[in-house]
């Protein structure tokens, strides 16, 4: 699933090629994504110019002359920019063609993504307005996290993955952040100390920043003849390492299920929560 660092990498790739481009054609082959693609997208977008590109959480925002195209990649969405129209592959649902013969192609096998138009403030859109702060925002502090945790009796892992609290911490990054912070994923949020909140905030910023930096190294391939976007794999310390030795203490990494998601953790480095 594309996570925040992948979306940020796609954004940076799009910025290098789409700025000031004018829409010259739109082809929607299948409009049944998680929500139906905005009707009449072609007549809406035609001749509009790309003025800016941005990201909010995992939503890509393409700001055009008369409004904003909001794109979410869902579970399996991919965006690529082609310099000539390659033969269609299965699940190539949407093409937006620009005046320089650039073609933005959206592919999504599972169709959980979204392509929606708004001519109002996109940040007030129903999908975006309740999102928590960005991880790199100065509003995302240990004090803010502590105030949220102290009144909540859910597992800390579920809380840091809740995008109303902070955006961008998916399952992989939550596991890594909790490992680095030495916090067991099942610890109840209201048992997390201010000092632990400091660690969580520090490592959320650090892990996501590192992933974005690694993604940047794939940017050179963003526009390519294969139409493959630069998603990337990275070295993970605990995620996906169940049954393998912990990178820090050599104990075997275990896993538990929390909120229907598997959580890998080291039973020594991440101590089990105290029972009160
Ligand atoms: Zn360990």
CB 224 within 8 A of CB 83: no
Report CA-CA distances (Å) from 148 to 102, 142, 144, 178, 202.
Answer: 45, 10, 6, 17, 16
How high is the pLDDT of residue 260? 85
Most confidently modeled range among 10-19, 179-188, 266-275: 179-188
What is the value of pTM for the model shown?
A: 0.89
Residue 166 inside a domain? The answer is yes
Classify residue 180 by burial, with Cβ atoms within 10 Å: 0-12, 13-18, 19+: buried
Residue-wise pLDDT tens digits, 239-248: 989 999 999 9
CA distance 120 to 146: 34
2 is catalytic: yes
Tokens, residue 134:
């960005």
* Domain harbouring 101, CATH code: 3.20.190.10
Query: Do residues 220 and 259 both lie within one domain?
Result: yes
Tell me which of 2, 5, 122, 229 is the catalytic residue: 2
6 is catalytic: no
Q: Is the pLDDT of residue 223 over 70?
A: no
CA of 5 to the centre of ligand 1 (A): 26
CA of 157 to the centre of ligand 1 (A): 18
Residue-wise pLDDT tens digits, 196-205: 999 999 999 9
Query: 55-59, 94-98, 100-104, 263-267: which has the minimum mean pLDDT?
Result: 100-104
Q: Is the pLDDT of residue 11 over 80?
A: yes
CA of 126 to the centre of ligand 1 (A): 42
Residue 276 inside a domain? The answer is no
Tell me which of 8, 55, 56, 58 is the catalytic residue: 58
Tokens, residue 178:
């909790």
Query: Do residues 180 and 109 both lie within one domain?
Result: no
How high is the pLDDT of residue 163? 95
* Domain harbouring 243, CATH code: 1.10.8.50
Residue-wise pLDDT tens digits, 77-87: 999 898 877 89
CA distance 28 to 107: 11
Residue 9: give the domain boundaries. 4-124
* Number of compact structural domains in the chain: 2
Phi then psi for residue 143, to 5 deg, are -65, -45
261 is catalytic: yes
Q: Is the pLDDT of residue 230 over 90?
A: no
Average pLDDT value for residue range 124-152: 96
Residue 135 inside a domain? The answer is no
Average pLDDT value for residue range 174-197: 96
């Amino acid at each position: 699933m594309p996570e925040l660092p992948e979306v940020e990498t796609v954004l940076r790739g799009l910025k290098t090629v789409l700025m000031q481009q004018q829409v010259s054609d739109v082809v929607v082959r299948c409009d049944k994504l998680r929500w139906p693609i905005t009707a009449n997208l072609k007549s809406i977008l035609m001749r509009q110019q790309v003025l800016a590109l941005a990201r909010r959480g995992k939503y890509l925002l393409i700001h055009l002359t008369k409004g904003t195209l909001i794109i979410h990649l869902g579970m399996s969405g991919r965006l690529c920019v082609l310099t000539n129209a390659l033969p269609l592959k299965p699940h190539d649902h949407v093409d937006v063609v620009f005046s320089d013969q650039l073609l933005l192609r959206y592919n999504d096998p599972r169709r959980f993504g979204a392509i929606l138009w708004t001519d109002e403030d996109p940040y007030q859109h129903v999908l975006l307005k309740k999102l928590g702060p960005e991880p790199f925002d100065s509003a995302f502090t240990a004090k803010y996290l502590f105030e949220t945790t102290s009144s909540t009796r859910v597992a800390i892992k579920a809380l840091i993955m809740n995008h109303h609290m902070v955006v961008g911490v998916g399952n992989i990054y939550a596991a890594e952040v909790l490992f680095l912070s030495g916090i067991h994923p099942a610890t109840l949020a209201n048992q997390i100390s201010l000092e632990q909140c400091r660690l969580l905030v520090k490592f959320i910023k650090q892990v996501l920043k590192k992933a974005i930096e690694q993604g940047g190294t794939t940017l050179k391939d963003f526009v390519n003849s294969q139409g493959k976007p630069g998603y990337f794999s990275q070295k993970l310390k605990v995620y996906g390492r169940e049954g393998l030795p912990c990178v820090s203490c050599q104990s075997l990494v275990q896993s538990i299920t929390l909120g229907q998601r598997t959580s890998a953790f080291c039973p020594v480095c991440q101590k089990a929560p105290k029972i009160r």
